[in-house]
Amino acid sequence: GNSVTQMEGPVTLSEEAFLTINCTYTATGYPSLFWYVQYPGEGLQLLLKATKADDKGSIKGFEATYRKETTSFHLEKGSVQVSDSAVYFCALRERGQNFVFGPGTRLSVLP
């Protein structure tokens, strides 16, 4: 079946450091890929998404590129802020099938 693997956390960075959270997936077809974020005390919300190979999702400095050849969708940000501290979930969905979420990676950014 389909699955999503994320790097284990927690990840602790200083403000303005470069962030990478690795995500790889296993799927039988051609899934859409997502990053969701859960800020402390809040619900999950979509951060970015990509639907096909080489698509790049980006928002507020976060980026992730759909790499079919490596079945990856790594999340990156060039300069993190304290306000980026949250749990990040990588997820996939194939048409007509269920969403599959990774276990989440907790990011803590220190001032």
Binding site residues, other proteins, CB under 8 A: 32, 34, 36, 42-46, 49, 51, 89, 93, 95-96, 98-104
Instruction: Assess contact for 30 and 52: CB atoms under 8 A.
Output: yes
CB closer to other proteins, 29 vs 95: 95
Q: How far is the CB of 95 from other proteins (least distance, A)?
A: 7
78 or 103: CB nearest other proteins: 103
- Do the Cβ atoms of 66 and 50 come closer than 8 Å? yes
